[in-house]
Structure 1
Amino acid sequence: MAKWGQGDPRWIVEEREDGTNVNNWHWTERDATVWSKGKLRELLVGIAMENETGRCEISELKQVEGEASCSSRKGKLIFFYEWNIKLAWKGTIKESGAKHKGLVEIPSLSEENEVDDTEVNVSKKKGDGDTLKDLMKTTGTAKVRAALAEYLKALKTEFTTGMILPTKAVATQDLTVERKVTGNTLQVQASPVALGVRIPTVALHLTELFDTTVEQLYSIFTVKDLVQKFSKSPAVLEAEKGGKFQMFDGNITGEYVELLTNRKIIMKWRCRSWPEEHYATVALNFVPAPGQTELQLDCKGVPVCKEENTKLCWQKQHFEEIKGAIISQA
């Protein structure tokens, strides 16, 4: 048996505030399906091509069926994706001004094939316009494959930010992440530098109406007993500028930045599963309405890969539970 402090470091559980996958040794998995659908729409819709006879454009993402995920094990990222994609295209013949429509179908985009070998089928509705179809089959197909390659690049870099965490030895240093893609596996190496890791983020804006007064709704976010009631779990709350808060058994933590009584709360806010020490900025505005209060939430700095989870956290764990607590008090 190894002496204390001399064991294989891969099996040593270090002290971490988030308690997450120390030394990146354990298997973790992240669902990339929702993120991928949004990314594919962003990259594919609007692709345009033009020659001397006409102009064509991808006008709509009609169908995207399938799934994508990323798994981490022993410091390596492994990707799975399988998509059936159907796009609509439209075009105009320059000389006659005639307009034509058709479809672009990608029956199988998966990790089993290279993007350049991915099947892309172009069809057109009945009638003339074969010159536009030819334009789509040549230039259009090349541009679609280029967009698919951009999606895979983003999946293997942008989406995976935060999956490979620094160990305790480098936790206090800023990191840069070097990503080397080989086939379907991404090897990630971290090295100390001055600039640090930049996490791609998005902003959320949500509004919700509550059947209560501004004063009562404001109290639900600032009074410990009321927070514990809607969250159904112990909470730590210091409702003052610079004060800390912790709720949902430590899954949500942060700090109050500004409190304007019954008007506005600004706070640093994070989920335990987010990259370590990364916080979003949340602003809650309390707007009186006849017999109700409108809550306007602006959340900036949400990691891209956590957008949907964060939205559900506010809608389900906060808004719905608060409404239930209000009804029980009535």
Structure 2
Amino acid sequence: MALRGEGDPRWVVRERQDGRNVNSWHWEDKDVTNWAQQRIKQLITPESCVCSYNGTTVAVKSVDTVDGDATLYNRKGVLKVLYDLKVVGKWTTLHGEEEQRTLGEFRFELFDEEPHIVVSIDDKAPQKDGGAKECFVRNVTPLIKKECGVFITEMHAGAGQQVDGLQKASNKKECDTKVTDYLRSGMNQKAAVTKESNVSELILKDVFTCSGMDMYLALTDARRLEAITRAKAVSEGTVGGNVRLMNGEVTGRYKRLEEAKKIEMEWKLGCWGEGADAGVATIGIDEEDGKTEVSVVVSGVPKAMASKTEGFWRVQMLQAMKVVMGWGSASKFL
């Protein structure tokens, strides 16, 4: 031990970079919106999205705007992504002079692997060749979707970012996997959980810029739940009614419903295993001063599945709700 006045550096407490979030224990987020906007423009180009038609060429002319958000969420090497982008661009035929060409627009929203691309002809274009439009729809839009698949693969590989503890991405093709981030993160890997297994309790809180009633509807209305989770949902919305989210990977049954106040239900993730009992999810809704605080308490969670359960509620529900419904920043947790 150092004597007084000697100032032995071994006993001086210093700020250390490696002392923050050791072993990536807590969820961290990284905004990659700028990367996503630039990457979409690099992928969807006249060279990569082109086809031949009636002695000429039909191709993407440009990607004009990419609006929206893209975020990475990482904990202990498990990466989840959330993206909601609106893409607008132009297409054209490439024969002759500019005044002889057919021009048009394409647009789509990118939040899953099957974007619906809307194609139109510019009413002010000197030529309006409907056949060129059909060629673009039939031959070029699949190429655009293919490039979107490349973008999604790169998002799940870390979006070109340095992500602490991230495991190497699988060589499995993106089109061979499910669309929902949570399914990618291991939800389909069924765990061998028995009724005697130790269980834990999950507690989360977050604040949203919406009314309590809007929040209640978002959590009980099937159409809203489908928009938030981006997958098939069933919600009967009455006491005793069934709940099924993410194409049946999440199941439950309503036990108590108080409009704009409280939701209580039996609740279970498919990855908990067939031998595991359902837990109880209690959602408190507290509106004050134009904002609503939501508290989520899930009891009976198998300890081995605690991280995946937290990931579902934090990323696939609460953060997705902010992005899809526009109820706040998706990068802050309480």
- TM-score by length of structure 1 reads 0.43
Higher relative strand content: 1
